[in-house]
Chain A
Amino acid sequence: MDLSHIEHTLAQHGAWQGKYREIMLLGKALPAMPDALKTDAALVKGCESKVWLHLDLDEQQQRLVIIADSDTRIVKGLLAIILACYNNQLPQEAGKLDAYELFDKLGLIKHLSPSRGNGVRAIVERIHQQLQVLQ
């Protein structure tokens, strides 16, 4: 799922119920994380819901591979958006990404600004922390 497609889909909805419907559909399309990977170490602190996240680089191209899951439909959809933004990037490119700009661009800032209880800020901080460890 690429970002421009997500942007186009979300822009079609004026009402928030419609945007959330699309966000939840994105979450449904995100593969479920196997329970064995839902470890305490993978839990992202600072989220109202549970979020698990693993980050690695693929062996050949050294590009980001993030897998993530949540126990809520909406946050799982937000994770799908964040992953669409970060996955397959080179670590140095990914380090320059700004989630606030991303959510602004998608028209999601009003309800989903990274400071809200959805944990977007905590999720993005976790990704950037792990990126630094990789570099």
Chain B
Amino acid sequence: MNDNPCIQLRRDFPIFEVSVDDQPLCYLDSAATTQKPNQVIQAVKNFYQSQNANVHRGLHTLSEQATTAYEAVRAKLAQFLNVQSREIVWTSGATASLNLIAYGLSDSLKKDDVILLSPLEHHANIVPWQLAAQRTGARIELLPVDAQGILQLEQAKALIEKLKPKVMSICHASNALGNINDVAALIARSKSSGTVTVVDGAQSLLHLRPDLQQLDCDFYVFSAHKALGPTGLGGLYGRYELLNALPVYQSGGEMIDTVSFSGTTFRPAPEKFEPGTPNIAGVIGFGAALDYLAAQDHDALFRHEQSLYQSLLQQLNEIDGIRIWGDTANNVGTVSFSYKNEHHYDLATLLNTHGIAARSGHHCTQPLMAHLGIEGTIRVSLAFYNNQQDIRRFIVALKDTISLLEE
């Protein structure tokens, strides 16, 4: 374990020096948001302290510098994802990105066209499509998922061939269960139908570091705060011809070419999707997050997360009455479980008294919970800055909680 770089990396995250309710923090909720390394916190602080100016406006030095720094992060992210800079649009998060895409694609949908989703999707990858379906008369169909919450790949491929969907929007990894979906295989199968493919990468950007050329998707959405970056920022990748063909979603300054009362023309993508002053500090902070991640050996981080995940699974399975949901063979390091008939609210409330920050509830996936026939789960989601002690503390707290509930 001594050569494990993650043991050192934890020290970059100042939150772990904080006590919560007089106990050291045991943070197991990284699927909700990741903690931030000093490098990101400093980058945001430095920007406001010594670099703050608006971007794409004015010729003064500070504005030029801010613009250069801001656009450099777009290039950095493009390199990270193996796509072109002009294919990256900044938004407020994955939710905003999905809304932009679903609204934009509505123009090309008509009655009875199929929008293919899966029961694993976050509400943010369901509701914008429901609205698009309402506007256009298109209908939503679902990929098959079994009673454990695992996508049935072969049946899914067959369904894609049968339905020939106009749009397919699926999560790369499930936020509720952590399952990694073989999106590349599904996308490959949809090519012959000319399907526009959208990948919700909210849970995959950090853990899987995807190469979007390999995935071959048309769109990919993400939130910066789930990959060490600041909140309030996210974005999307769009294959350029498709992206640039989408209609304007929100309008205002900075996205126009010329404005007059006889008509307005817009700039090409990505600018036409970025009206108003963007989240400059967020982008700068996210740039620091990308630098941080690029400096690490991704395979080592992934191995560390997977080894923590395996010991968590093993120790949970030793507790009689624990039911683990989802695909434990392909997972980003998220365990979603229930215990006998105990309510997740009681479990999470009692775990919190031990300083355990875990998520409970439906995880914004009510259709998935209905599919599994449960109200919700306890979700423990890991990141590379977790360690074996976190797992031990969690298991001790869980056993204590169970004995308290069963008194």
Contact = CB atoms under 8 A, between A and B. Distances in A.
A45 to B, nearest CB: 15
Nearest to B349: A74
Given A48-B361, A111-B353, A17 B404 contact: yes
Nearest to B376: A48
Given A48-B361, A73-B405, A20 B350 contact: yes
B400 A17 contact: yes
Interface in B352-407: 352-353, 360-361, 375, 400, 404-405, 407
Contacts of A49: 343, 345
Contacts of B407: 21
A40 interface: no
A48 B353 contact: no
Contacts, number: 43
Interface in A42-57: 48-49
Contacts of B346: 24, 72-74
Interface size band for B: 10 to 19
B75 to A, nearest CB: 41
A2 interface: no
A71 interface: yes
B232 to A, nearest CB: 23
Contacts of B352: 111
Contact of B353 (A20, A24, A75, A117): A20
B101 to A, nearest CB: 31
Contacts of B350: 17, 20, 74
Main secondary structure of the interface of A (DSSP, over half): helix
A17 B342 CA distance: 17
B353 A71 contact: no
Contact of A16 (B343, B353, B360, B405): B353
Contacts of B21: 16, 110-111
A21 B349 contact: no
Nearest to B360: A48
A73 B343 contact: yes
A71 B342 CA distance: 9
Contacts of B404: 17, 20-21, 24
B400 A74 contact: no
A72 B400 contact: no
Interface string A88-121: 0000000000000000000000110000011000
- 8 smallest CB-CB distances across A and B, nearest first, come from A16-B353, A72-B343, A72-B345, A49-B345, A73-B346, A72-B346, A74-B346, A74-B349
Interface of A: 15-17, 20-21, 24, 48-49, 71-75, 110-111, 117-118
Given A17-B353, A21-B404, A118-B349, 16 more contacts: A15-B353, A17-B350, A17-B404, A20-B350, A20-B353, A24-B346, A48-B361, A49-B345, A73-B342, A73-B343, A74-B345, A74-B346, A74-B349, A111-B349, A111-B353, A117-B345
